[in-house]
Amino acid sequence: MIDKHFILEEADPQLFFGAGNANLRMLRALSPKLRITARDNVVRVIGDEDDIAAFAKQFTALERHCAQFNSLTEEDILHIVRGQHTGKEASTGVIVYSTGGRPITARSENQRRMVEAYETSDMVFAVGPAGSGKTFTGIALAVRALKNKEIKKIILCRPAVEAGEKLGFLPGDMKEKIDPYLQPLYDALEEMIPPGKLQEYIDTNIIQIAPLAFMRGRTLNDAVVILDEAQNTTSAQIKMFLTRMGMNTKMIVTGDRTQIDLPPSQRSGLIEAMRILRDVPGIAFIEMNKKDIVRHKLVTRIVEAYEQDARQRKEEKGTDQTDK
């Protein structure tokens, strides 16, 4: 008899063991010669060497399935233990699977172009209106790279700029002050990574979420780095961010030209960077539009209404100048 410990490194323990440990009980039933116990993310198995060797192969396959699809049912366990297909083979075009097992794919032509650009370029600028999926798609690509062990960490950052508010006037410590600015990034991550696993990644700095100012002086290696709301960076800030790029790192920069919250006297670093870097090899630029909006249908109508108002104001301004 030997005693061996298996550690869940990729899959979330709650998903792996199932509600009320139903999956764990099924594993015990399928391996009656083994004594199987579990605590936290560790599975302890006692039995003969050959039986444990067979269990080790099954455990690896089960963990890989759970991590990839963010789900593990008793039916999945039965098929995997018996060496059969689960019927959940990865579909073409799927980036990752949500915490509910739903496939996350590019849902518009420009989102597909963004996925393709990520594959061929180390730096991608994705610019478009609210709801066009640029940030969500970028985070999905980063999560996929982490799951596939192509990188060691994900770094997400935003400039802490908000009209009419200053960090110093918000209550709490620094984390509590900056969390409201970073909440959209948490929201996207929570759709793709189970809560327990996400908290583990954050606690161990595998996933880092921070304001742009925290990037100064760093060299970012083996990572996918995403700068969100880049339209609110200054020229100096975005240059500082882009030059943090290290080895085996990809950068995704997202923003919306129509939502600049900088003071009128400051130029948007995003707009300037896109102009300066337009012809640099290895950098891709994706321009999204209202056709890419995948939120509620009213969002598209709102964007269209604001665009129409902007055109009317421009025409009226031109007419006034002509009259003078």
Residue ranges of alpha helices (H) inside the chain are 13-17, 22-30, 49-69, 74-81, 109-120, 134-147, 174-192, 195-203, 235-242, 269-277, 297-323
Quick one: DSSP state of residue 12? -
Contact 288, 104 (CB under 8 A): no
- Token pair 């039916």 is found at 75
From the CA atom positions of the chain, what is the Rg in Å? 24
- Give the whole-angstrom CA distance, residue 265 versus residue 249: 34
The pTM of this model reads: 0.80
CA distance to 105, 127, 262, per residue, from 196 (Å): 24, 32, 37
Q: Which contiguous run of DSSP H or E holds residue 284?
A: strand 283-287
- Give the whole-angstrom CA distance, residue 159 versus residue 86: 44
Count of residues making up the chain: 324
Per the DSSP assignment, residues forming a β-bridge with 208 are 155
Contact 95, 115 (CB under 8 A): yes
- Give the whole-angstrom CA distance, residue 263 versus residue 137: 29
Instruction: List per-residue pLDDT tens for the chain, 324 residues long.
Output: 899 999 999 899 999 999 899 999 999 999 999 999 999 999 999 999 999 999 999 999 999 999 989 989 989 999 898 887 655 665 678 999 999 888 999 988 999 999 999 999 999 999 998 888 899 999 999 999 999 999 999 999 988 765 444 555 555 655 666 677 778 888 999 999 998 899 999 999 999 988 888 888 899 999 999 999 999 999 999 999 999 999 999 999 999 988 888 888 888 999 999 999 999 999 999 999 877 776 667 877 887 788 788 888 877 776 665 555
CA distance to 50, 65, 194, 198, 221, per residue, from 11 (Å): 25, 8, 9, 11, 24
